[in-house]
Chain A
Amino acid sequence: MKEHGLDLIVTIANRSRIDAFIDIYATHGITFNVTANARGTASPEALRILGLEDSEKAILFSACEHPRVRAIIRDAILKMHIDVPGNGILATVPFSAFAGGRAYEYMIHSQLKEGENPMEKLQEERKTEFSPDYHLVVCVTNEGNSDTAMEAAREAGASGGTIIRARGTAKEQAEKFFGVALATEKEMLFIVATTAQRDPIMQNIVRKAGFGTEAKSIVFSLPVDRIAGLRHLPNMED
């Protein structure tokens, strides 16, 4: 695995705990954090009907220089106990590229050492491939259909997922209704899967909730470099 570069840390946790994660990441110099409110799916049916499911989650996307990821995961385990089941999931996905010089420097400026030049640092980049053990499966469905997709994923071995509400932007200009622009309602379902689980999960979603169905799911996966908080032990080797 490469030594430098930028990783996207995806943290999924209870909404009330997300701020604590952001505070911990801040101590590692991470300035770029985007949070989206989400809901979990891994609840028994009876609780869902009674409105008792503990589903208020949030997804936090943070950008971090690759060498710092290890220390951050250690902190997430020590301070947030993310390795205890139910306390959240943390997965890192390597960026392949980043656009915009000023934004890049804003993101990493507090992660640089005193007097370090980000340009020279980038030159040292070792570009190597890696074969991930885990994947972040992302499924974009029409509103109200993420449960169908999750059901399909569960049949194929997924243990749970997290859903955020999203808006679609079609290739045409957004529809106008008087003064407001309308968008199509979408849901994004995030599932962490092992390499072995990934294909069956993605296949079953496409079969049961694919483009030909009402859900019109679009499914893709992202390679996960490091992970913490899944019921399996995280791969701690470098």
Chain B
Amino acid sequence: MMSEVFVLLSRKVLTDKIKESLTSVLPVGLIVIVLSLTFAPIPADSMLTFLAGIVLVIVGMGLFTLGADSAMTPMGERIGSHLTKSKSLPLIVVSSFLLGVIVTISEPDLQVLAGQVPTIPTTAMILSVGLGVGLFLVIALLRILFAVPLRYLLIASYLLCFALALFVPSDFWAVAFDAGGVTTGPMTVPLIMALGTGVSSIRSDKDAQNDSFGLVALSSVGPILTVLILGLVYGASDASYVPDAIPSIDTTNELSALFVSAFPAYAAEVGKALGSVVVFFLIFNALFLKLKKDLLIPILIGFVETFLGLVLFLTGANVGFMPVGSYLGSVVADLPFRWILIPIGALLGYFVVSAEPAVHVLNHQVQGVTGGSIPSWALSVTLSIGVAAAISFSMVRVLTGLSIFWILIPGYAIALVLTFLAPPVFTSIAFDAGGVASGPMTATFLLSFAMGACTSVGGNVVTDAFGLVALVAMVPLIAIQILGLVHKAKTKERETALPGKTFFAEDTIIDFM
């Protein structure tokens, strides 16, 4: 047994995954430690929980990406390619709708979001956001079949969002736009992205590659629209914010108790979420896919890895990262030079995005579909810069109380104009990345950083701190499309390097034998 474990550990994949999650989580940890040792004192017990949280997050992320590779991705791809192969419109519509609803209503982050808006009944909120995602997933698939360019749908949906927002109380805006980013979390992203790859994998037309992406993009519009509509229906004017109590611990024993007591709750959440997906998959498999046993077993084991990974990750992020984020925010905002929130926020944002589990899945998918023509590091750096910018804007909002629409409207306008200029595949990836970048790390660590800062500054948490997720979801749209413009310019440069004069006639057959 021990030797088998050793063989497993010596495998490059496992070490790669661990290295990957180490390098994505450690920078955030180091920054927090440096900050806490210099000018942002944090209670020692919160620091200890944070350190323990880091370990859980690293292990959890490694397991999660492993599980995503062996379960979520193959499952999504197989379902997707079967849907196209079936050539049955009813099957496509029904399955994608069900899949959208199921993954969304079980997404843990949505439950949290629903709790933040007391005027709307939680069940109504969860169900309608689920319907929203289901509907938009159907639209996203039909768009591919009827070859409607993604940009037209995006423009239409976002115009609709902004038009609706005019009639909804302003307190509601931040929450509504946050919903888009929040609902496309670590459960939804791998599955929906892979569904897109699967649907496109058996196509031979020229748009197949572009259409592998863009499903997450449209799926994140659904929640924004439904929450806005709900706001209209319930005429709600107050989203409320109840600060979480920050637990204090005295002994190491209490520390472990803190994490252990949190496990069952997250295990139940993730179990419910993943369970419904597994049931959907098993039914779909029994009815249509009928996979051979040796293909099915790795997927099932992958589900277990995903489950363990997500539970560890969410526990670590919520128990370990949330209190420290909130402390950091409030301490830094109390400093006489509180403008420093902006660069510190940018720094945290730059590194936190690579600690989002779904970002690795996106990057992986991009490498898989484009065959490496979009370098992985370029995508990571662009996303990091984008999120750093988003957090800076959020900190400006926390300090000044600037309305989120002053940033969202010009931001989306630029992003939508760019859809006409950037290569289509970059547009699809960019709008997917918007939903991907805003995951559980943003929702726990960065959001509580902003909320802590906002409370210190004395601002309105609901309008000023909320909205951070929305900005994190928006800026990548611009950043990655700009990367697309750069890529286009570079490719052009390379193509003009062809030899000018030719010795051979164009139709020569050069015979070597």
**A and B bound?**
yes
Give which listed residue, A96, A119, A181, A183, contacts B504 with CB less than 8 A.
A119
Q: Are A47 and B11 touching (Cβ within 8 A)? A: yes
What distance in Å separates the Cβ of A113 from its nearest Cβ neighbour in chain B?
Answer: 14
Q: Are B503 and A49 touching (Cβ within 8 A)? A: no
Q: Chain B 74-114, CB within 8 Å of chain A: the 1/0 string? A: 00000001001101000000000000000000000000000
B304 to chain A: closest residue by CB: A50
Give CA–CA (A52, B7) in the complex, Å.
11
Q: Are A54 and B297 touching (Cβ within 8 A)? A: no
What distance in Å separates the Cβ of B198 from its nearest Cβ neighbour in chain A?
Answer: 10
B11 to chain A: closest residue by CB: A52
Any B CB within 8 A of the CB of A20: no
Q: Are A106 and B510 touching (Cβ within 8 A)? A: no
A118 proximity list for chain B (CB < 8 A): 503-504
Total residues of chain B contacting the partner, CB 8 A: 53
Give which listed residue, A6, A52, A181, A184, contacts B8 with CB less than 8 A.
A52
Any A CB within 8 A of the CB of B60: no
A100 to chain B: closest residue by CB: B506
Q: Are A144 and B305 touching (Cβ within 8 A)? A: no
Give which listed residue, A46, A119, A177, contacts B503 with CB less than 8 A.
A119
A169 and B204 contact, Cβ closer than 8 Å, known pairs A49-B301, A180-B144: yes
Any B CB within 8 A of the CB of A58: yes
B498 proximity list for chain A (CB < 8 A): 102, 106
Give CA–CA (A181, B201) in the complex, Å.
11
Q: Are A122 and B510 touching (Cβ within 8 A)? A: yes
Give CA–CA (A180, B499) in the complex, Å.
36
Q: Are B202 and A185 touching (Cβ within 8 A)? A: yes
A127 proximity list for chain B (CB < 8 A): 512-513
What distance in Å separates the Cβ of A66 from its nearest Cβ neighbour in chain B?
Answer: 9
Total residues of chain A contacting the partner, CB 8 A: 54
Q: Are A180 and B147 touching (Cβ within 8 A)? A: yes
Any A CB within 8 A of the CB of B286: no
Give which listed residue, A104, A147, A183, contacts B203 with CB less than 8 A.
A183
Q: Are A182 and B294 touching (Cβ within 8 A)? A: no
Q: Are A46 and B298 touching (Cβ within 8 A)? A: no
Give which listed residue, B204, B371, B504, contacts A36 with CB less than 8 A.
B371
What distance in Å separates the Cβ of B494 from its nearest Cβ neighbour in chain A?
Answer: 10
Stretch at the interface among B63-71, B317-325, B461-469: B63-71
Q: Are B513 and A181 touching (Cβ within 8 A)? A: no
B503 proximity list for chain A (CB < 8 A): 101, 105, 117-119
Q: Are A37 and B372 touching (Cβ within 8 A)? A: yes
What distance in Å separates the Cβ of A126 from its nearest Cβ neighbour in chain B?
Answer: 10
Any A CB within 8 A of the CB of B505: yes
Q: Are A52 and B509 touching (Cβ within 8 A)? A: no
Q: Are A179 and B146 touching (Cβ within 8 A)? A: yes
A7 to chain B: closest residue by CB: B512
Q: Chain B 323-358, CB within 8 Å of chain A: the 1/0 string? A: 000000000000000000000000000000000000
Give CA–CA (A48, B302) in the complex, Å.
11
What distance in Å separates the Cβ of A64 from its nearest Cβ neighbour in chain B?
Answer: 13
What distance in Å separates the Cβ of B160 from its nearest Cβ neighbour in chain A?
Answer: 24
B301 proximity list for chain A (CB < 8 A): 49-51
Any A CB within 8 A of the CB of B237: no
B74 to chain A: closest residue by CB: A51
Any B CB within 8 A of the CB of A99: yes
Q: Chain A 24-66, CB within 8 Å of chain B: the 1/0 string? A: 0000000000011100000000111111111000100000000
Q: Are A98 and B67 touching (Cβ within 8 A)? A: no
Any A CB within 8 A of the CB of B295: yes
Give CA–CA (A202, B297) in the complex, Å.
29
B490 proximity list for chain A (CB < 8 A): none
Any A CB within 8 A of the CB of B492: no
B458 proximity list for chain A (CB < 8 A): none
Give the residues from 82 to 128 in chain A that come closer than 8 angstroms, CB to CB, to chain B: 94-102, 104-106, 109, 117-119, 122, 125, 127
Q: Chain B 489-508, CB within 8 Å of chain A: the 1/0 string? A: 00000000011001111111
Q: Are B204 and A182 touching (Cβ within 8 A)? A: yes
A122 to chain B: closest residue by CB: B510
Any A CB within 8 A of the CB of B367: yes
A15 proximity list for chain B (CB < 8 A): 367, 372
A167 to chain B: closest residue by CB: B204
Any B CB within 8 A of the CB of A77: no
What distance in Å separates the Cβ of A221 from its nearest Cβ neighbour in chain B?
Answer: 17
Any B CB within 8 A of the CB of A174: yes
A109 to chain B: closest residue by CB: B499
What distance in Å separates the Cβ of A137 from its nearest Cβ neighbour in chain B?
Answer: 21
Any B CB within 8 A of the CB of A79: no
A169 proximity list for chain B (CB < 8 A): 204
Any A CB within 8 A of the CB of B244: no
Give which listed residue, B13, B505, B507, contacts A52 with CB less than 8 A.
B13
What distance in Å separates the Cβ of A165 from its nearest Cβ neighbour in chain B?
Answer: 7
B78 to chain A: closest residue by CB: A144
Any A CB within 8 A of the CB of B153: no
Q: Are B509 and A97 touching (Cβ within 8 A)? A: yes
A46 and B70 contact, Cβ closer than 8 Å, known pairs A2-B512, A165-B201: no
Q: Are B294 and A183 touching (Cβ within 8 A)? A: no
A-B contact list, 8 entries, CB within 8 Å: A6-B512, A50-B305, A51-B69, A96-B513, A99-B510, A100-B506, A180-B144, A181-B205
Kindly list the 5 A-B residue pairs having the minimum CB-CB distance in the complex, ordered from nearest: A101-B504, A51-B70, A179-B147, A183-B204, A5-B512
